[in-house]
Amino acid sequence: MNAFVLGATGLVGRNIVQELDRSSDYKHIVAPVRRPTGIASDKLIEVPFDAEQASEWDTPVTLDHAFIAFGTTVKKAGGHNAQWEVDVRYPRLYAQRLKDLGVRHISVCSSIGADFESSNAYSRMKGQLEEDIRLMRFPSFATLRPSVLGGERENDERPAEAWAQRIMSRLPKRWRTVPARRVAQSMVATAREEPMGMTIISSKKIWALSDVAEMNR
């Protein structure tokens, strides 16, 4: 199979690429990027990121599975409206093109509490992307809702996230900090199964799926 990864230079996206690279189930990995990932892989095909032209984008290989792990912070974006563009509109544009191209399964790295009717701006954004993709009617759609993500981001310091990682690392798995590697493992494992319709995977379930993935290595 061939895979598509949006957000390949980010914390979860890099782990997804590495997980796909290790898997014998995938031949090619297509990743739209603004800057090189720096990942050495014969499978990886980096293409220019251009969300505004996504509707006209032509994939270099036929795609089977897609993974979206794309987002920013309100501070880095420069405001909630700008963050909405990155977290919701850009992924939505690519997702619609992927649907048109016949992708069978799409996975999204969302967030705990995602709800398009939430009063919290971040939860509302993540929930809106989920809802928009649900309405596209992919044969198989999985949204993963991790708690605080664990791991070091390259060239992207997030002091609040680092603080939350430490505080939440001792909590029960429902709220515990989830290493980005485990989220990636769960996304790829779910994609292989191609569950019909929409599947919501909680933070606790992410731990369980990644435990199985670790044992099967």
* pLDDT value of position 210: 84
pLDDT at 169: 53
DSSP summary character for residue 116: T
How high is the pLDDT of residue 178? 85
The pLDDT score that the predictor gives to residue 162 is 52
Give the torsion sign (CA, 131, 48, 28, 10). negative
Q: How many angstroms separate the Cα of 181 from the Cα of each of 16, 141, 194? A: 8, 20, 20
Q: Say how far apart CA 53 and CA 51 lie, in whole Å.
A: 5
Q: So what's the pLDDT on residue 135?
A: 98
CATH 3.40.50.720 fits 2-212, yes or no: yes
DSSP three-state, residue 82? helix
Whole-number Cα distances in Å, 183 to 8, 13, 79, 173: 14, 10, 27, 13
Calpha distance 156→7 (Å, rounded): 14
| Domain map (residue ranges) of the chain | 2-212
180's enclosing H/E stretch is: helix 180-193
51-85 CB burial, b ≥16 within 10 A, e <16: beebeebebeeebbbbbbbbbbebeebeeeeebbe
Given a contact cutoff of 8 angstroms between Cβ atoms, the answer to whether 52 and 93 are in contact is: yes
Q: Which residue has the tokens 């270099």?
A: 60
Q: What does the block give as tokens for 117?
A: 């009717």
Cα-based torsion angle of the residue sequence 13, 209, 164, 121 in order, rounded to the nearest 10 degrees = 70
Of the candidates 141, 70, 132, 126, which has an alpha carbon nearest to the alpha carbon of residue 96? 132
In the prediction, which pLDDT does 27 show? 98
Record the pTM: 0.89
Over the chain (217 residues), the average pLDDT of each successive run of 10 is 97 96 97 95 97 94 97 88 95 98 98 94 96 98 92 56 51 68 95 97 90 71
32, 154, 189, 137 alpha-carbon torsion, rounded to 10°: -40
